[in-house]
Structure 1
Amino acid sequence: MINGITLDDSVQDAIKNIKINLKFDKNTDVKVSEGSASGDGYASKTCAVQLKSNEKKLDLFVKYFPIDTIQQKEVIIKLFNNETRFYDQIYPIFEKFQLYKNVKAPFNNVPKYFNPGETRGLKPIVLENLKVEGFDLRNRQELIDEEHLCLALKAFGKLHATGFALKDQDFETFLKITDGVKDVLADTIVESGFDKVIGSCITQFIESLDPKEDKDILRASNGLQESVVDFIRNIPEFQGRYCTFLQGDCWSNNMMFLYKGSNKPLGIKLIDWQIIRVNYPVFDLSYFFYSAATSKMLGNWENYMGIYHKYFSEHCRNLGSDPNELYPFEVLKEHWRKYSKYGLGMAFLLVKAMLYDKDEAPDLAKSLEGDKIDANIFNNKTRHQDVYDRKMKDIFRHFIVNKFI
């Protein structure tokens, strides 16, 4: 126990290894405090760790699953292995590639990673503490504004462009670092019971509709639960020429924004890489856009995709590749019409998760029985249920009007 906080064995081992690797002396002071507030993580546990000696100081953020909650939960192990692979293998190659191409404004929207070494239990993810650097989570319950939205689109544009350009110019290396990356969400959606979690959210929404006022939605929602789950499960089969490396879990809680004394964001870091996949950019973009966009933004979806593609194209050119060959804007729009239903399906869950007050947020780790998620974990109506229902109606009508569904 340090500062009144009991540390998991894996975290203790990681701190010890990092102290040795970074040559902190024996008299180094170790301070531990709570990491994310309850309800911010949804599944993992976190803590903040400060190492301080006479000569140097290091502020860390540690994400972990306690040994007594892991048991034989293969889904959790796959997720943590994905994130470790990103920090250990994939992102270092992206950095090296951009450095070789002498890119002045690289994709660097990733916190610094510290290898935890060998630990008891599941290896924790150890990162720099971004809050010390002025980054913070955006209030997930508030409507997103243009500045935050466009910063995220810029980050995704650069990420996707880096993957595309590496694949274009050094396919062997791209294949080496991405070969074996499994789409954990698609692969385990039925086995983990996540299909029932999404289906339960959809059912609850449909049952709340008014037969007269919402008859257009009711008519279009026939068989929606089954079609959404089948769609998500079959996402790996959609892969083709226009695939790149994706972050996979692009919602509000997985982005931290840099603030310097005001509400205006100056930078962004993407902080969760557990659901990485190789597929079409639309799966990142629709996941993010439909969980975040206001009603007004929904009406301008094509304009925002144009903003994304501008950043994507600029970064492609800086890396020496032709964006119109790698991922033309017309292909992005075609993919949006064919595949953005993924964003709709995930929004039923994500929007509710964003609106939960912290004392309402479910504990996903505790809900697992073996590898199975409790299907009713998101059944509780949030205190902001009226906001949720209104937003989901706006999203659904957007799909109907644009004939995306």
Structure 2
Amino acid sequence: MCSVVPSQVHEVLKNVVKGDIENFEVVIHDANKKGDGFLGDMVFITLKNKQSEEVFDLVVKQAFTKQTVRDTNPIRQVFMNEIYFYTKVWTRLNKFQERIPVQFQFHKLPKYFTSISEEVSEKLVLENLKLQKFEVHNKKIPLGKQYYELIFREYGKFHALSFAYKSFYPEEYVNLAKGLLDIYLDFINRDGFSAAIKSVNDTVMDFLQPGLDDAVIEKFRPYIENYVELFKNSIDCNAKYSVITHGDCWSNNMMFKYSVSKTVILKFSISNISFFKFPLRIDTIMYYMR
């Protein structure tokens, strides 16, 4: 740990504490491990007010600035989507859900503090869930049934909230959704993306055993043969039951909390997020959790 604030995050921290950063003791924790963030770095910081008991446990997500990296990845688009989600989409949806019983509400997101949208200086400041004992699941270990049940239950709440808002305020929903950039459309036109999808499909087929999994193989075969077209169609879908989804459903964007009794609590960590308008279908749903 240290107390030297990196120059690139100093200004955004001033936004969190309304400019009086000199009144706070700054503790910088270990940064994220290499490979944890594909489009940016994360710095974990605790701010402690020297006069009061006020404490901010923060994670500063900052986009990669190296131009060669930005040229080969839609870094700005992804960061702008996440900023738009917290400042516009989630603000609207969270206010809307105040009318429903709390047990049906969706709150599996880290608290948002502030952000910077300037080109090559994109940043977000969020609540640091690690200090609440939440952790990212080891990506090398397959998730068990208990995890998937948590994930689908919480995504269901988020999708239901989005769909309900769309039903009550269709015009406002359309305008809200228009502000989200279509990141996958950008990805699919980049070199290597189709090959990456094919690699995943091939991995699935390698695990399926002819003679034992024939029914599954036949159901999956259209995805092998037409995966690019199917992917494009899912991105472009504007069906009756379409909703705003997370768009980057993998273990690095989810955090789990384990109690002494080994009970698992799930929390969505919005990291390198991309939001899209997808139909509510099992093969296109993507999730994040608390």
Alignment TM class, shorter chain as reference: 0.7 to 0.9
Aligned partner of 1:190 in structure 2 is 189
CA distance, structure 2, for counterparts of residue 36 and residue 16 of structure 1: 22
**Distance in 2, Cα, partners of 1:278 & 1:213:** 38
Task: Confirm or deny: 8 A CA contact 1:5 1:33 kept in the other structure.
Answer: no
Q: Check if 1:36 corresponds to 2:35.
A: no
Decide whether the 8 Å contact of 2:245 with 2:286 is kept in 1. no
Cα offset for 1:35?
Answer: 3.4
Residue 16 of structure 2 aligns with which residue? 18
AA at the equivalent of 2:195: K
Tell whether the 8 Å contact from 2:63 to 2:76 is kept in structure 1 after alignment: no
Matched, 1:46 2:45: no
Q: Distance in 1 between matches of 2:143 and 2:201?
A: 23
The count of corresponding residues between Structure 1 and Structure 2 is 281
Partners of 1:18 and 1:116 within 8 A in 2:
no
Bigger share in strand: 2
Classify the secondary structure of the residue corresponding to 2:107: coil
For structure 2, list consecutive stretches of 5 or more residues without a partner in the other structure: none
Of residues 32, 47, 56 in structure 2, which corresponds to 1:58?
56
Does the Cα contact within 8 Å between 1:14 and 1:118 map onto a contact in 2? no
Structure 1 or 2: larger helix share? 1
Secondary structure, counterpart of 1:34 in structure 2: coil
- Check the 8 A contact 2:83/2:115 in 1, yes or no: no
TM-score using structure 2 length: 0.81
* Aligned position for 1:253: 252
Judging changes above 3 Å, is the alpha-carbon distance between structure 1 residues 209 and 248 closer, same or farther for their aligned structure 2 residues?
Answer: closer
Equivalent residue number for residue 171 of structure 1:
170
Instruction: Summarize the alignment of residues 95-106 of structure 1 with structure 2, pairs less than 5 Å apart.
Output: 95-99=94-98, 101-105=99-103, 106=105
| Match in the other structure for 1:332 | none
- Write out per-residue CA displacement over residues 378-405 of structure 1, whole angstroms, 9 at most, x where no aligned residue: xxxxxxxxxxxxxxxxxxxxxxxxxxxx
Q: Which amino acid is 2:46 matched to?
A: Q
How big is the shift at 1:259? 2.8
Superposed, 1:113-132 pairs within 5 Å as: 113-117=112-116, 121-132=120-131
Q: Contact (CA 8 Å) 2:76, 2:120: kept in 1 or not?
A: no
Q: What is the CA–CA distance in structure 1 between the aligned matches of 2:188 and 2:83, rounded to whole Å?
A: 21
Match in the other structure for 1:378:
none
The one-letter code sitting in structure 1 at the alignment partner of 2:94 is: E
Kept after mapping to 1: 8 A contact 2:43/2:61: yes
Matched, 1:76 2:72: no
TM-score normalised by L of structure 1: 0.60
Letter in 2 for 1:48: F
Distance 2:268 2:18 in 1: 28
Give the counterpart letter for 2:252 in structure 1: N
After TM superposition, give the deviation of residue 195 of structure 1 in Å.
Answer: 1.5
Contact 2:13 2:21 in 1 (8 A): no
Alignment of 1:3 onto 2:5: no
- Work out whether residues 258 and 265 of structure 2, in 8 Å CA contact, stay in contact via their aligned partners in 1: yes
Q: 1:155-234 counterparts in 2 under 5 A?
A: 155-200=154-199, 202=201, 227-234=226-233
Task: State the secondary structure of the residue aligned to 1:50.
Answer: strand
**Closer, same or farther in 2 for the Cα pair 1:270/1:50, shift >3 Å?**
closer
> CA–CA distance in 1 between the matches of 2:179 and 2:42?
28
Displacement of 1:14 in angstroms is 1.3
Larger mean Cα displacement after TM superposition, 170-179 or 266-275: 266-275
Q: Which residue of 1 aligns with 2:143?
A: 144
C-alpha distance 215-120 of structure 1, shift in aligned 2 (>3 A): closer
* Distance (whole Å) between structure 2 residues aligned to residue 201 and residue 285 of structure 1: 15
The structural deviation recorded for 1:78 is 0.8
Q: Retained in 2: the 8 A contact 1:247–1:273? A: no
Q: Percent identity?
A: 26
Q: Is the 8 A contact 2:246 2:286 kept in 1?
A: no
CA distance in 2, matches of 1:64, 1:193: 25
Q: Map residues 392-403 of structure 1 onto 2, 5 A cutoff.
A: none
- Equivalences for 1:309-348 in 2 at 5 Å? none
What CA distance in whole angstroms lies between the structure 2 residues aligned with 1:25 and 1:275? Answer: 31
Measured in 2, the distance between the counterparts of 1:283 and 1:44 equals 30
Matching residue of 1:276: 275
Partner Cα distance (2:283, 2:124) in 1: 22
Equivalent residues of 2:242, 2:277 under 8 A apart: yes
